[in-house]
Structure 1
Amino acid sequence: MVSPERHAALQQAWARLLDGYRVTAAAAYPVFDLLASAYSAPDRHYHNLEHLAEMFRVAARLTAITDDPAPVQLAIWFHDAVYDPRAADNEERSAELAATLLGPLGVPRDALDRVGRLIRATAHLTDDRPPPDRDTMILLDADLAILGAAPERYARYAGAIRAEYAWVPEAEYRAGRAAVLKRFLARPRLFWTDLAHQEGDVPARANLTAELAGLRGGEPAA
């Protein structure tokens, strides 16, 4: 849950972002309200406004390597707009929602197509292959930056993920989560931008290894 101050800051950042596409604040705010409501749903324990705020902080440090950060920022806003842990098409539906909500505001088609491609990339289906462009690198690194967080923040993240999958039996969850962690650990590179790799790879691998050990050892899943 974000504070009222952070919520207001996110709203102002949204208005500035849409102003770059010549969308008035009056037209932009209703879409913000829809997004804020989606990310504030009671079953959003991790994929919420706090996650967005953390992604924006990371992306702000990485966007020096891109010429136009606006599509990345729009993709951050929408990448988890549709989130159902029981579904396999969240990214596709989120990309479609972005086009549905932003198109009528006058955001150009080429920008919508670019944002849609970025959102779809957050399915992380090509984990072992370098992303095709710098914007995708930034977005994916921001999305996974939590893996390299301080141990206390990582533990809270792991617990929040478990809460989002509360409907999954414990043994089944442990097996599935362990498989996810092992796939991450098997990757030659967790982060694609040089800065994120240099700062995050070592702590991320330590966090993943510690969680995996806990899952195998029968301790509560964070």
Structure 2
Amino acid sequence: MENEPLIDEALKSELALLYRAEDRHYHSLAHIGAMLALAEEYRRLLHDRSAVEAAIWFHDAVYDSRAKDNEAKSAALAEQKLSGRTTPERLAHIAVMINATATHQLPPLDDEKATSDAALFLDMDLAILGAEPDAFDAYEKAVRREYGWVEEPMWRTGRAAVLRSFLARPHIFHTAEFRQHLEPRARQNLERSLAALEG
């Protein structure tokens, strides 16, 4: 059971439908594809690649920009759909990783390997912050479209608070690999975006 991929083609098709919803401008299949590509790129560092890939596929499965419990609902969906496909312990690790995307703080896990995988997973999810300026700007526009119902002054205040909270952290990324490659540009992108929001 452990060696089988957790996400089969039927489940991929089912999840792909959710990611193709019209109101998804950033949290779409393209985002999942980008994260899966990073999982492939960093596969030598992953201890349980199948579990990380399952977390990638499910982490934004439920996405409503008006809701506050998307991560919890996505984790619950993962537990429901993957029940019987793997051990309860592994399923718990997947759920913990998904829930951690609510804050992008490293979750408390009793297992060093699971913690390492969670750190990489969270960094993959935030890799866009350290993208080239054009790609980062396109991401910002896409997220704004997902929150199209929020009036501009409220959006600026809320988004600025989110960006400031990331900038206030000692490190945006949890792993040495991502810090080395993406941290400086992520800070530049966030500072530039913050200046535009507050300008």
Q: Normalising by the residue count of structure 2, what TM-score does the alignment of the two structures yield?
A: 0.90
2:52 is matched with 72
Q: CA deviation at 1:182?
A: 0.6
Q: Verify: 1:110 aligned to 2:124, yes or no.
A: no
1:154 is matched with 136
Contact 1:35/1:81, CA 8 A, preserved across alignment:
yes
Q: Distance in 1 between matches of 2:153 and 2:29?
A: 30
Per-residue CA shift, 1:146-171, capped at 9, x if unaligned?
00000000000000000000000000
Q: Distance in 2 between matches of 1:163 and 1:19?
A: 40
Gaps of 5+ in 2: 110-114
Q: CA deviation at 1:193?
A: 1.0
Per-residue CA shift, 1:40-76, capped at 9, x if unaligned?
1000000001101111122223332232211111100
Residue 136 (structure 1) aligned to one of 118, 141, 153: 118
Give the letter for the 1:118 counterpart. Answer: M
Q: Normalising by the residue count of structure 1, what TM-score does the alignment of the two structures yield?
A: 0.81
Structure 1 range deviating more: 166-175 or 31-40: 31-40
Give the letter for the 1:173 counterpart. Answer: W
| Cα distance change, pair 61–125 in 1 and its aligned pair in 2 (3 A) | closer
| Cα distance change, pair 161–66 in 1 and its aligned pair in 2 (3 A) | same
Q: CA deviation at 1:145?
A: 0.2
1:20 is matched with 3
Contact 2:96/2:107, CA 8 A, preserved across alignment:
no
1:42 is matched with 22
| Cα distance change, pair 110–130 in 1 and its aligned pair in 2 (3 A) | closer
Q: CA deviation at 1:97?
A: 0.4
Structure 1 range deviating more: 147-156 or 93-102: 93-102
Q: Distance in 2 between matches of 1:22 and 1:191?
A: 28
Give the letter for the 2:18 counterpart. Answer: A
Residue 187 (structure 1) aligned to one of 146, 150, 169: 169
Contact 2:20/2:29, CA 8 A, preserved across alignment:
yes
Per-residue CA shift, 1:119-139, capped at 9, x if unaligned?
11111253xx68651011011
Residue 96 (structure 1) aligned to one of 53, 76, 79: 76
Matched pairs, number: 194
Identity %: 43
Contact 1:130/1:192, CA 8 A, preserved across alignment:
no
2:112 is matched with none
Q: CA deviation at 1:85?
A: 1.0
| Cα distance change, pair 43–124 in 1 and its aligned pair in 2 (3 A) | same
Q: CA deviation at 1:190?
A: 0.7
Give the letter for the 2:88 counterpart. Answer: R
- Note the aligned Cα RMSD (angstroms): 2.0
Contact 1:118/1:139, CA 8 A, preserved across alignment:
yes
Gaps of 5+ in 1: 1-17, 218-222
Q: Distance in 2 between matches of 1:193 and 1:64?
A: 14
Residue 127 (structure 2) aligned to one of 145, 149, 154: 145
2:9 is matched with 29
Q: Distance in 2 between matches of 1:77 and 1:180?
A: 24
